[in-house]
């Protein structure tokens, strides 16, 4: 009962935050930031240590505008500190909470711990996002994920029922389960949704009036968006989340910018010289405002996104552009401009089917474009695509290789840099799993 009241209270705060005046949002986030920093300084050895080394005086950090005085931490730094046991709050009992593992650029997993506070944050963030999309408590949700989530007690009573479908089942079985469920809301990895959309198109099956399709955990490129829209009859809604932090941002019905969950996180888009201007590309740095078990504070996610103007929908939450992919997979052209993984995928979307190719960076100036025989759109040929890529990327050689297929998994790896990675095809780079949401 007490837990349900806390959940409802947090949900109310999140709902209010969506249309709060920007000045009020700054005041609210500044208040939450002060609480978060005080907690981290009291209970988390890692932050106490790095802030002390950086000469940070916490009493001088009163507003989100002071955030820049805190050092930015990298995923590697956070992982190393976690292995030393320094990122878990000392107030957390041994064995308390759930453990989630995420991979990463080094291939060394990061074990993230979440307590009841974080479970509530995930649940309410997911609900708030769904409610903004017109969700009602009688609507059925389908979750595509390899592991079922723990249903909330109210779901067992038939409120907001949720049905889990394992994406490793044969596609025909998944499709039958989906059609029987008649869901209003669907959550899944982009790869899983794309495969289901193709199956629905191939079998000329129409889904019963879905309201919203939430695509998570991968870049939502143009070809995937077009395929999912064609299969489900609904434009997919992109969601940005990380195992370390939770739901960070989501698209509204306009399907352009992403709205930041301002009640839960602060998002900075940082360019070379500080905060990026609208339209400018930068690294995504997040600060957890409410997590208390293992919060990430000024955490460099390793992701790229563009700073953004407010969305035209009227919601006053801070906005960022769609996620553009991992910074380490981006390509810097000879003229100094950066091409992001999403930029490459969208560029190739008129020639190649997503999921049927992989552009691998072999060395500084050499790329290998691996394509399956089903990957080319009619009228396209691999040689011409390689030549066109060479011109576009500049100063590099691109060779093509026709392959029989790629390993089937929950994620698609369309752009991969093989130069410094011990784990060339990491399956989980910190993005969340759909099962973690509710």
| Total of residues contacting Zn ion (CB under 5 A) | 4
CB of 304 to Zn ion, least distance (A): 21
- The SS3 call for residue 90 is coil
- E strands, 33-146, in order: 98-102, 110-114, 141-144
In the bound state with Zn ion, the residue whose beta carbon lies nearer, of 250 and 299, is: 250
- Which range in 29-37, 203-211, 252-260, 368-376 contacts Zn ion by CB under 5 A? 252-260
In the bound state with Zn ion, the residue whose beta carbon lies nearer, of 234 and 368, is: 234
CB of 132 to Zn ion, least distance (A): 9
CB of 259 to Zn ion, least distance (A): 6
In the bound state with Zn ion, the residue whose beta carbon lies nearer, of 169 and 254, is: 254
In the bound state with Zn ion, the residue whose beta carbon lies nearer, of 155 and 256, is: 256
CB of 214 to Zn ion, least distance (A): 15
- Which range in 305-313, 322-330, 336-344, 370-378 contacts Zn ion by CB under 5 A? 305-313
Q: CB atoms < 10 A from the CB of 352, how many?
A: 23
CB of 311 to Zn ion, least distance (A): 3
- Which range in 19-27, 56-64, 205-213, 310-318 contacts Zn ion by CB under 5 A? 310-318
In the bound state with Zn ion, the residue whose beta carbon lies nearer, of 46 and 250, is: 250
Distance, in Å, from the CA atom of 33 to the CA atom of 135, rounded to the nearest integer, reads 30
In the bound state with Zn ion, the residue whose beta carbon lies nearer, of 18 and 228, is: 18
- Which range in 22-30, 43-51, 55-63, 306-314 contacts Zn ion by CB under 5 A? 306-314
Residue for token pair 């649940």: 123
Q: CB atoms < 10 A from the CB of 324, how many?
A: 25
In the bound state with Zn ion, the residue whose beta carbon lies nearer, of 80 and 313, is: 313
3-state helix, strand, coil in the chain (%, to 5): 35, 25, 40
Q: Taking the CA atoms of 135, 141, 144 and 148 in sequence, report the sign of the dihedral they define.
A: positive
CB contact set of 316 (below 8 Å; sequence gap of 6+): 18, 19, 20, 21, 22, 25, 310
Position 92 contacts Zn ion (CB under 5 A): no
Q: 270: closest CA among 414, 71, 410, 7? A: 71
Single residue of 245, 311, 339, 352 touching Zn ion by CB under 5 A: 311
Q: Which two tokens stand for residue 19?
A: 């249309």
- Which range in 230-238, 251-259, 266-274, 301-309 contacts Zn ion by CB under 5 A? 251-259
- Which range in 121-129, 142-150, 309-317, 364-372 contacts Zn ion by CB under 5 A? 309-317
Position 425 contacts Zn ion (CB under 5 A): no
Distance, in Å, from the CA atom of 402 to the CA atom of 383, rounded to the nearest integer, reads 11
In the bound state with Zn ion, the residue whose beta carbon lies nearer, of 10 and 311, is: 311
Tell me which residues in 117-146 interact with Zn ion (CB under 5 A): none
Position 254 contacts Zn ion (CB under 5 A): yes
CB of 310 to Zn ion, least distance (A): 8
**418, 424 contact by CB (below 8 A):** yes
Position 317 contacts Zn ion (CB under 5 A): no
Position 252 contacts Zn ion (CB under 5 A): yes
In the bound state with Zn ion, the residue whose beta carbon lies nearer, of 87 and 308, is: 308
Tell me which residues in 283-302 interact with Zn ion (CB under 5 A): none
- Which range in 20-28, 79-87, 250-258, 360-368 contacts Zn ion by CB under 5 A? 250-258
**117, 293 contact by CB (below 8 A):** yes
- E strands, 253-339, in order: 258-260, 265-271, 274-275, 281-288, 299-307, 319-326, 331-332, 338-339
**217, 247 contact by CB (below 8 A):** no
Position 313 contacts Zn ion (CB under 5 A): yes
Q: 276: closest CA among 244, 241, 318, 222? A: 318
- Which range in 33-41, 195-203, 246-254, 389-397 contacts Zn ion by CB under 5 A? 246-254
CB of 252 to Zn ion, least distance (A): 3
8-state DSSP, 322: E
CB of 104 to Zn ion, least distance (A): 31
Distance, in Å, from the CA atom of 197 to the CA atom of 433, rounded to the nearest integer, reads 20
- The SS3 call for residue 375 is coil
In the bound state with Zn ion, the residue whose beta carbon lies nearer, of 249 and 327, is: 249
Tell me the H-state helices in 166-273: 171-181, 190-202, 222-232
Q: Which residues here bind Zn ion, judged by CB under 5 A?
A: 252, 254, 311, 313
């Amino acid at each position: 009962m007490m837990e349900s009241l806390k959940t409802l209270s947090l949900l109310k705060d999140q709902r209010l935050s969506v249309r709060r005046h920007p000045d009020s949002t700054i005041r609210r986030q500044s208040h939450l930031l002060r609480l978060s920093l005080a907690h981290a300084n009291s209970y988390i050895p890692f932050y106490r240590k790095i802030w002390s080394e950086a000469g940070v005086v916490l009493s001088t950090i009163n507003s989100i505008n002071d955030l820049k005085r805190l050092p930015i931490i990298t995923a590697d730094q956070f992982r190393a500190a976690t292995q030393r046991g320094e990122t878990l709050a000392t107030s957390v009992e041994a064995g308390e909470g759930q453990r989630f593992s995420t991979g990463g650029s080094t291939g060394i997993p990061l074990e993230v711990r979440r307590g009841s506070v974080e479970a509530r944050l995930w649940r309410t963030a997911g609900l708030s996002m769904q409610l903004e999309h017109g969700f009602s408590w009688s609507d059925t949700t389908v979750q595509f994920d390899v592991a079922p989530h723990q249903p909330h007690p109210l779901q067992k009573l038939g409120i907001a029922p949720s049905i889990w479908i394992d994406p490793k089942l044969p596609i025909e079985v998944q499709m039958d389960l989906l059609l029987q469920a008649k869901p209003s809301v669907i959550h899944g990895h982009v790869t899983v949704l794309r495969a289901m959309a193709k199956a629905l198109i191939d079998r000329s099956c129409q889904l019963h009036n879905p309201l919203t399709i939430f695509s998570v955990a991968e870049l939502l490129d143009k070809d995937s968006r077009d395929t999912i829209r064609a299969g489900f009859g609904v434009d997919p809604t992109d969601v940005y989340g990380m195992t370390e932090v939770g739901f960070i941002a989501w698209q509204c019905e306009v399907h352009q910018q992403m709205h930041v969950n301002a009640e839960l996180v602060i998002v900075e888009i940082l360019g070379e010289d500080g905060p990026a201007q609208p339209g400018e590309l930068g690294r995504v740095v997040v600060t957890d405002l409410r997590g208390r078990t293992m919060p990430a504070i000024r955490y460099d996610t390793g992701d790229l996104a563009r700073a953004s103007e407010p969305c035209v929908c009227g919601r006053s939450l801070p906005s960022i552009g769609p996620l553009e992919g991992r910074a380490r997979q981006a390509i810097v052209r000879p003229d100094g401009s950066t091409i992001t993984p999403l930029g490459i995928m969208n560029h190739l979307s008129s020639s190649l089917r997503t999921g049927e190719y992989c552009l691998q960076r072999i060395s500084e100036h050499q790329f290998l474009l691996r394509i399956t025989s089903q990957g080319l759109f009619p009228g396209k040929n691999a040689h011409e695509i390689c030549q066109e890529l060479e011109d576009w990327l500049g100063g590099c050689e691109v060779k093509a290789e026709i392959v029989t297929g790629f390993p089937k998994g929950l994620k698609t790896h369309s752009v991969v840099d093989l130069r410094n990675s011990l784990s060339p095809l990491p399956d989980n780079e910190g993005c969340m799993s759909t099962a973690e949401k509710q």
